[in-house]
C-alpha cells in the first residue's frame, strides 16, 4: 500500500498532502492565537485598573522582531537551496535560521528572568510600589540564611506558634517537613498535646492510639490517616446499613406515602449504633515547646492573630508577629490606580495622593513626589510650547495619566542624575535597556529601602502572571509563542542535522518537508509581528 501525493502534488488540487495539512494546521493556529488576541482586547477594554502601557523594554523586543524576520528570509533561502540541490548552502541558511531562533529565546529568557525577580506591591489604598525585595540582614549586614541555605526574602509571615493542628484527611507533606525543620532550627519540640484514644461508648473505647508527648513526624500522621480511614470506612458502612433498614421500616409503616413526606422521621439510631463504631480521628493537635517563630509564605496561609489556617487545613495557633514587607530597592511609585479609585469617589487626585500612606509615612516618597510635580510643570510648559492652544484656550497637548501619576525608575534615575549625585557610564546605561535599572551603580540614593507594615499590604506579587491580567496575557501569549519557536526550531534542526539521508534518496521529499517547516516558521514570525506592537508598544 502506498499513500499517494506524498511527494508529488495531485493534479486537480495542485497540492501535496502535507501542504494541505500545514495550511489547515495554521488555520487552527490562527484560531488559537486569535482566541488569545481577542482575550487581550476583551481584558484590556474591560479592565477596571489602569492598564499598563509601554512597560516592557522595547529594545530586546525590537531586536527579536528583526531576528525573526531575518530567520524567515533565511529559511526560504534554505528551501531554495534544496530545490537547486545545493546541500552546503542549505546547511548554511538553515544553520542561520536555527541560530536566530536561539538568539530569540535567549533574549526572551533574559526578559522573563528580570520580571521573575521584580516585586510589585499594591497597598490597601491602591498606591503601588515596585522594586526588589530585601534580604534579611544580621548585625554585620550579612545575609541571614534559612535552614535551606537560601537568603531569607523579606516577604514572609511570622507566627509565634504554640500549637499545630493537622487534618488527617489531607496534609501537605512538604509543608510538614518544612515545619519540622523550622522547629528543629529553633530548638523546639513538637509533641502530641493529648492522648489519642477511642471515644467513650465506641467499640474501641479506651484504646490508646497515641500517647501524649509523642513527637510529630510524617510517619505518625500517615499512621493516623490510616486509622481514620479504617474508622470512617467502618462507620460509613454501619450507618448506611442502618439507614437502609430504617427506610424499610418507614415504608412498611407509611404505605402510599412519598419519601419526602416521611423523610423527617427516618433517622439512624446513633445510640444503638455507637458500640459498633470506631473513633474517627479527624484532627491531631501538637504543642510546640517552647513556642517558636515560624515563617510562612503569604500565599500558603490565611494569617490571623490567634489562629491562622494554612491551605492544607493545618491550623497554626499563636501570636501573629510583625511581618513587614521590606524592599531593598524601590524603583517605582505608581499612583495611577489610586487616582482612578479617587476619581470614582469624586476626590481630587492630588489630595488623594497627598493623603496616601506612602506620602505621609515615607520621606523619600514625599520628596520624589514633590520633585515629580516640578517635572510635570516643566513637561506641561514644554507641551504647551510644542502644541499651542486650541480654540477653547486649552493646551492642545497634555501629559498622559501615566506621566502624571507614575514615577518610574527612569524618573528616579533622572532625579539623582540631575542632582549630580550619580553618573553612569554609557555601557552601563546601554545594559539597563536589557536588564532594567542597575541597582549597584545607582545605589540606595536612587533606589531607597522601604518597609511596609503587613496591615498596609493589599496584594503583592512578582511581575508574573499573578500581578495583573496584562502580565497574565503577556506571559501566556509570549510563552506559547516561545514554545512554538522552540518546536519549530527543533523540527528545522532535525532537517538540518538528520536530513542528509533523505537528501540523498529523495531530495524532493525533503524539500517539501522544509517548505512546510518554513511555512510554520513564517507563521511563528507573523504571530510575533502582532505580539510586539500590542504588548510592547501600545
Partner 1 sequence: MSSHDTSHAGHDAHHDEHHHNPGFIWKYVFSSDHKMIGMQYGITAMCFLAFGFYLMMVMRWSIAYPHQPLPEWMSWVFTDGWKARWLQDGKVTGETYNMFGAMHGTIMVFLGIVPLGFGAFGNYVTPLQIGAPDMAFPRLNMASYWVYLAGGLIMCASFFMESGSAKSGWTNYSPLAGFADGQIVTQILAGQTQWLIGLVCLITSSLLGSVNFVTTIINLRVRGMTWMRMPFFVWSMLVTGFLLLLAFPPLEAAGIMQLMDRVAHSSFFMPSGLFTKSEGLANLSGGGSPLLFQHLFWFLGHPEVYVLLLPAFACVAEIIPVNTRKPLWGYKSMVYSVLILGFLSFVVWAHHMYMTGMGAAVSTFFQTTTVLISVPSVVIITAMLISLWGGSIRFTPPMMWACAFIPMFGIGGLTGLPLAFNLADLHLHDTYYVIGHFHYVVAPGILFGFFAGVLHWYPKITGRFMSKTLNHLHFWPSLICMNLIFFPMLVQGMAGFHRRWYNGGDAYLSQAADSVNIFGKTVVQYIDMNIMMSMGAWTLAFFQIFFFINLITSWKFGKKVTSDNPWDATTLEWATPTPPGHGNFLKDPVTYRGPYEYSRPDCEEDFLPQWVEPRRLDTADKPADKH
Q: What residues from 171 to 190 belong to the interface with partner 1 (CB under 8 A)?
A: 172, 174-175
Looking at beta carbons only, is 47 or 194 nearer to partner 1?
47
Q: State which of residues 244, 249, 276, 385 lies at the interface with partner 1 (CB under 8 A).
A: 244
Q: State which of residues 97, 323, 469, 478 lies at the interface with partner 1 (CB under 8 A).
A: 469
Which positions from 341 through 380 interact with partner 1, judged by CB under 8 A?
none
Looking at beta carbons only, is 299 or 421 nearer to partner 1?
299
Which positions from 24 through 63 interact with partner 1, judged by CB under 8 A?
24-25, 27-29, 31-32, 34-36, 38-39, 42-43, 46-49
Instruction: Take residue 462 and report the three cell numbers written for it.
Output: 512578582
| Binding pattern for the stretch 324-343 against partner 1, x by CB under 8 A and - elsewhere | --------------------
Q: State which of residues 8, 15, 211, 386 lies at the interface with partner 1 (CB under 8 A).
A: 15
What is d(CA 507, CA 82) in angstroms, rounded to the nearest whole number?
A: 7
Instruction: Please say whether the beta carbons of 489 and 108 come within 8 A.
Output: no
256 is a contact residue toward partner 1 (CB under 8 A): no
The radius of gyration of the chain from alpha carbons, rounded to an integer in Å, stands at 33
Looking at beta carbons only, is 29 or 375 nearer to partner 1?
29
Enumerate residues 6+ apart whose C-beta is below 8 A from 309.
301, 302, 315, 316
User: What phi, psi does 418 have (nearest 5°)?
Assistant: -60, -40
Q: State which of residues 181, 233, 355, 400 lies at the interface with partner 1 (CB under 8 A).
A: 233
Query: Which CB contacts under 8 angstroms, 24+ apart, belong to 370-375?
Result: 371/415, 372/407, 372/411, 375/411
Looking at beta carbons only, is 260 or 498 nearer to partner 1?
260
Query: Can you give the three-state secondary structure of 24-57, one letter per residue?
Result: HHHHHHHHHHHHHHHHHHHHHHHCCCCCCCCCCC
Query: Can you give the three-state secondary structure of 348-364, one letter per residue?
Result: CHHHHHHCCHHHHHCHH
218 is a contact residue toward partner 1 (CB under 8 A): no
Q: State which of residues 214, 295, 312, 449 lies at the interface with partner 1 (CB under 8 A).
A: 312
For CA atoms 102, 105, 110, 116, the dihedral sign is: negative
On the CB side of 457, CA atoms within 13 Å amount to 24
468 is a contact residue toward partner 1 (CB under 8 A): yes
> Shortest Cβ distance from residue 184 to partner 1 (Å)?
22
Looking at beta carbons only, is 43 or 422 nearer to partner 1?
43
Looking at beta carbons only, is 432 or 515 nearer to partner 1?
515
Instruction: Please say whether the beta carbons of 445 and 421 come within 8 A.
Output: yes
What is d(CA 538, CA 525) in angstroms, rounded to the nearest whole number?
A: 19
480 is a contact residue toward partner 1 (CB under 8 A): yes
Binding segment toward partner 1, per CB under 8 A, in 76-84, 151-159, 404-412, 466-474? 466-474
What is d(CA 383, CA 339) in angstroms, rounded to the nearest whole number?
A: 22
Cα dihedral value 305, 296, 449, 110, nearest 10? -150
Which positions from 280 through 309 interact with partner 1, judged by CB under 8 A?
298-300, 302
272 is a contact residue toward partner 1 (CB under 8 A): no
Q: Which helix (H) or strand (E) holds 220?
A: helix 218-253
Closest listed residue to residue 331, CA positions, set 142, 119, 181, 481: 119
Q: State which of residues 79, 405, 409, 475 lies at the interface with partner 1 (CB under 8 A).
A: 475
240 is a contact residue toward partner 1 (CB under 8 A): yes
Q: Which helix (H) or strand (E) holds 310?
A: strand 306-310
Looking at beta carbons only, is 278 or 450 nearer to partner 1?
278
Q: Residues touching partner 1: how many (CB under 8 A)?
A: 78
Enumerate residues 6+ apart whose C-beta is below 8 A from 313.
167, 169, 170, 171
> Shortest Cβ distance from residue 232 to partner 1 (Å)?
4
Closest listed residue to residue 282, CA positions, set 160, 199, 176, 173: 199
Number of other residues whose CB lies within 10 A of the CB of residue 345: 7
Which positions from 496 through 535 interact with partner 1, judged by CB under 8 A?
506
Q: State which of residues 124, 142, 147, 229 lies at the interface with partner 1 (CB under 8 A).
A: 229
> Shortest Cβ distance from residue 271 to partner 1 (Å)?
16
Q: State which of residues 252, 264, 393, 427 lies at the interface with partner 1 (CB under 8 A).
A: 264
DSSP SS3 for 206: coil
> Shortest Cβ distance from residue 16 to partner 1 (Å)?
8
Looking at beta carbons only, is 28 or 148 nearer to partner 1?
28
Looking at beta carbons only, is 290 or 479 nearer to partner 1?
479
Enumerate residues 6+ apart whose C-beta is below 8 A from 227.
209, 281
Instruction: Take residue 418 and report the three cell numbers written for it.
Output: 540631575
Looking at beta carbons only, is 98 or 338 nearer to partner 1?
338
Looking at beta carbons only, is 45 or 346 nearer to partner 1?
45
116 is a contact residue toward partner 1 (CB under 8 A): no
Cis ω before 290 (30° cut-off from 0): yes
Looking at beta carbons only, is 335 or 471 nearer to partner 1?
471
Binding segment toward partner 1, per CB under 8 A, in 87-95, 140-148, 164-172, 342-350? 164-172
Q: State which of residues 239, 380, 401, 454 lies at the interface with partner 1 (CB under 8 A).
A: 239
Longest dimension (CA), the chain: 97
119 is a contact residue toward partner 1 (CB under 8 A): no
Looking at beta carbons only, is 24 or 109 nearer to partner 1?
24
2 is a contact residue toward partner 1 (CB under 8 A): yes
Q: What is the DSSP string of 107-127?
A: HHHHHHHHHHT-EEEEETTS-
Amino acid at each position: 500500500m502506498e499513500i499517494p501525493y506524498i511527494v508529488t502534488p495531485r493534479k486537480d488540487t495542485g497540492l501535496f498532502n502535507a501542504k494541505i495539512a500545514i495550511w489547515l494546521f495554521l488555520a487552527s493556529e490562527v484560531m488559537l492565537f486569535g482566541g488569545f488576541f481577542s482575550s487581550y482586547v476583551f481584558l484590556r477594554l474591560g479592565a477596571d485598573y489602569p492598564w499598563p502601557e509601554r512597560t516592557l523594554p522595547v529594545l530586546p523586543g525590537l531586536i527579536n522582531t528583526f531576528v525573526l524576520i531575518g530567520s524567515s528570509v533565511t529559511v526560504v533561502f534554505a528551501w531554495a537551496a534544496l530545490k537547486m540541490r545545493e546541500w552546503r548552502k542549505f546547511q548554511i541558511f538553515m544553520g542561520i535560521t536555527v541560530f536566530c531562533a536561539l538568539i530569540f529565546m535567549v533574549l526572551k529568557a533574559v526578559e522573563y528572568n528580570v520580571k521573575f525577580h521584580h516585586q510589585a506591591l499594591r497597598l490597601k489604598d491602591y498606591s503601588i510600589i515596585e522594586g526588589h525585595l530585601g534580604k534579611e540582614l544580621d548585625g554585620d549586614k550579612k545575609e541571614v540564611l534559612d535552614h535551606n541555605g537560601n537568603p531569607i526574602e523579606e516577604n514572609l509571615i511570622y507566627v509565634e506558634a504554640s500549637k499545630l493542628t493537622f487534618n488527617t484527611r489531607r496534609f501537605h507533606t512538604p509543608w510538614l517537613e518544612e515545619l519540622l525543620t523550622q522547629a528543629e532550627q529553633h530548638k523546639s519540640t513538637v509533641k502530641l498535646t493529648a492522648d489519642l484514644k477511642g471515644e467513650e461508648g465506641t467499640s474501641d473505647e479506651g484504646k490508646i492510639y497515641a500517647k501524649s508527648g509523642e513527637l510529630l513526624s510524617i510517619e505518625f500522621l500517615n499512621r493516623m490517616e490510616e486509622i481514620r480511614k479504617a474508622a470512617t470506612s467502618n462507620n460509613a458502612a454501619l450507618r448506611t446499613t442502618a439507614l437502609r433498614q430504617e427506610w424499610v421500616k418507614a415504608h412498611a409503616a407509611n404505605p402510599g406515602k412519598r419519601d419526602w413526606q416521611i423523610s423527617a422521621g427516618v433517622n439512624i439510631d446513633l445510640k444503638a449504633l455507637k458500640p459498633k463504631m470506631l473513633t474517627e480521628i479527624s484532627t491531631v493537635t501538637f504543642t510546640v515547646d517552647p513556642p517558636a517563630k515560624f515563617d510562612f509564605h503569604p500565599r500558603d496561609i490565611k494569617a490571623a492573630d490567634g489562629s491562622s489556617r494554612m491551605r492544607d487545613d493545618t491550623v497554626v495557633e499563636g501570636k501573629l508577629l510583625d511581618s513587614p514587607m521590606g524592599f531593598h530597592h524601590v524603583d517605582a511609585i505608581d499612583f495611577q490606580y489610586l487616582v482612578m479609585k479617587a476619581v470614582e469617589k469624586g476626590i481630587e487626585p492630588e489630595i488623594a495622593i497627598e493623603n496616601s500612606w506612602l506620602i505621609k509615612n515615607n520621606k523619600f516618597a514625599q520628596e520624589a513626589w514633590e520633585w515629580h510635580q516640578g517635572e510635570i510643570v516643566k513637561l506641561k510648559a514644554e507641551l504647551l510650547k510644542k502644541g499651542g492652544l486650541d480654540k477653547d484656550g486649552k493646551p492642545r497637548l497634555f501629559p498622559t495619566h501615566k506621566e502624571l501619576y507614575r514615577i518610574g525608575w527612569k524618573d528616579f534615575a533622572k532625579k539623582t542624575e540631575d542632582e549630580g549625585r550619580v553618573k553612569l557610564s554609557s555601557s552601563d546605561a546601554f545594559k539597563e535597556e536589557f536588564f532594567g535599572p542597575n541597582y549597584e551603580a545607582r545605589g540606595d540614593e536612587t533606589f531607597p529601602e522601604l518597609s511596609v507594615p503587613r496591615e498596609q499590604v493589599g496584594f503583592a506579587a512578582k511581575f508574573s502572571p499573578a500581578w495583573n491580567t496584562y502580565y497574565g496575557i503577556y506571559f501566556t501569549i509570549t510563552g506559547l509563542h516561545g514554545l512554538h519557536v522552540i518546536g519549530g526550531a527543533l523540527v528545522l534542526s532535525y532537517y538540518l542535522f538528520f536530513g542528509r539521508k533523505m537528501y540523498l534518496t529523495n531530495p524532493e521529499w525533503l524539500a517539501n518537508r522544509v517548505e512546510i517547516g518554513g511555512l510554520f516558521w513564517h507563521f511563528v514570525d507573523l504571530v510575533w509581528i502582532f505580539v510586539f506592537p500590542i504588548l510592547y508598544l501600545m
